[in-house]
């Protein structure tokens, strides 16, 4: 199986921590030139220094609360440097909470940071993908696309919208050698999961250690995923080898999702 990504340029969003950072590392290890995107310049510099030295790596400072500014910065980068064969859409999820108590602004903000940013980045990168006849767009979403997760009302809503946007886009660009797929992480050892555990522990008046074990037992694998395990799946989908995989929602969840 050939996962060689030499001479491929990858734009990886939310790449200063968690799954985003692990994905940047995995793609770079396979030979891709990686451009990191996040809002914290110092963290971007730190991750950039950790990437394998054989690639031509870079970063873009952008805030996902401002899709138009994000798009303009990426377009300007493309004009001055190069286009992207691979786009990994990824940003932090909305805060937890019941859907009934969510403020309207929470839905608007989440829609902006997830769907609107995914959309403007696709618009910015797809012209080059069409030109070269190769493109991979991979959206890191959530298993809530298949099964809504209790206590994540806003996230469940917006993730579903992103899933449908992605499926629609996949059918529009497939003829140009471009695939669009969604990776649905389960419980993964990230800061996001730590925050969820703390909130659930407080709600149920349990210790963090006890809640951690309870959540591990939700999963048939009886453990949380490492960010690198999800990154490896993303790297496969970004490769030539996965050229006929298109428009799918792929859980990486240790078997937790019950639906097919």
pLDDT value of position 157:
97
pLDDT value of position 187:
92
pLDDT value of position 38:
97
What is the number of other CB atoms lying within 10 angstroms of the CB of residue 169? 19
Nearest to 84 by CA among 5, 165, 29: 5
pLDDT value of position 121:
98
pLDDT value of position 22:
98
What is the number of other CB atoms lying within 10 angstroms of the CB of residue 80? 7
- Measured CA to CA, the distance from residue 196 to residue 203 in angstroms comes to 11
Contact 136, 85 (CB under 8 A): yes
- Measured CA to CA, the distance from residue 185 to residue 201 in angstroms comes to 21
Strand order in the sheet with 135-140: 58-61, 33-38, 9-13, 86-89, 135-140, 178-185, 249-252
Strand pairing class (33-38; 135-140): unpaired
What's the pTM value of the predicted model, to 2 decimals?
0.95
Q: Tell me the domain boundaries of the chain.
A: 9-186+226-249, 187-224
Q: What is the largest CA-CA distance in the chain?
A: 56
CB within 8 Å of 233: residues ≥ 6 apart: 183, 250, 252
Q: What is 9-186+226-249's CATH topology?
A: Rossmann fold (3.40.50)
Find the DSSP H helices in the chain.
Answer: 18-29, 41-50, 67-80, 104-111, 117-132, 153-173, 191-203, 208-217, 227-238
pLDDT value of position 12:
98
pLDDT value of position 53:
83
As beta bridge partners, residue 60 has: 37
| SS3 category, 256 | coil
Q: Averaged in consecutive runs of 10 residues, what is the pLDDT profile of the chain (260 residues)?
A: 91 97 97 97 98 93 97 98 98 90 97 98 98 98 94 95 98 98 95 86 91 93 96 98 97 94
Kindly list the distances between the CA atom of residue 180 and the CA atoms of 5, 118, 234, 243, 250, in Å, as whole numbers in the listed order: 17, 11, 11, 10, 12
SS3 string, 16-45, reads CCHHHHHHHHHHHHCCCEEEEEECCHHHHH
What is the number of other CB atoms lying within 10 angstroms of the CB of residue 221? 13
- Measured CA to CA, the distance from residue 111 to residue 166 in angstroms comes to 14
pLDDT value of position 145:
95
pLDDT value of position 249:
97
């Amino acid at each position: 199986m050939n996962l060689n990504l030499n001479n491929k340029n990858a734009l990886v969003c939310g790449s200063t921590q968690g799954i985003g950072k692990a994905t940047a590392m995995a793609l770079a290890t396979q030979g891709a030139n990686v451009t990191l995107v996040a809002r914290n310049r110092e963290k971007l510099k730190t991750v950039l220094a950790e990437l394998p030295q054989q690639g031509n790596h870079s970063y873009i400072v952008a805030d996902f609360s401002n899709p138009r500014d994000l798009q303009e910065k990426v377009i300007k980068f493309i004009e001055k440097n190069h286009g992207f064969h691979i786009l990994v859409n990824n940003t932090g999820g909305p805060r937890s909470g019941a859907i009934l108590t969510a403020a309207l602004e929470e839905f608007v903000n989440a829609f902006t940071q997830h769907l609107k940013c995914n959309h403007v980045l696709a618009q910015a990168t797809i012209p080059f993908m069409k030109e070269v006849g190769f493109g991979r767009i991979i959206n890191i979403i959530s298993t809530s696309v298949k099964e809504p997760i209790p206590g994540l009302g806003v996230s469940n809503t917006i993730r579903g919208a992103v899933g449908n946007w992605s499926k629609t886009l996949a059918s529009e660009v497939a003829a140009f050698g471009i695939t669009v797929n969604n990776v649905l992480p389960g419980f993964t050892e990230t800061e996001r999961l730590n925050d969820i555990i703390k909130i659930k522990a407080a709600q149920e008046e349990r210790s963090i250690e006890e809640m951690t074990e309870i959540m591990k037992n939700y999963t048939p694998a009886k453990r949380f995923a490492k960010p690198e395990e999800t990154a490896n799946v993303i790297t496969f989908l970004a490769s030539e080898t996965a050229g006929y995989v298109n428009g799918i929602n792929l859980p990486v969840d240790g078997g937790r999702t019950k639906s097919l």
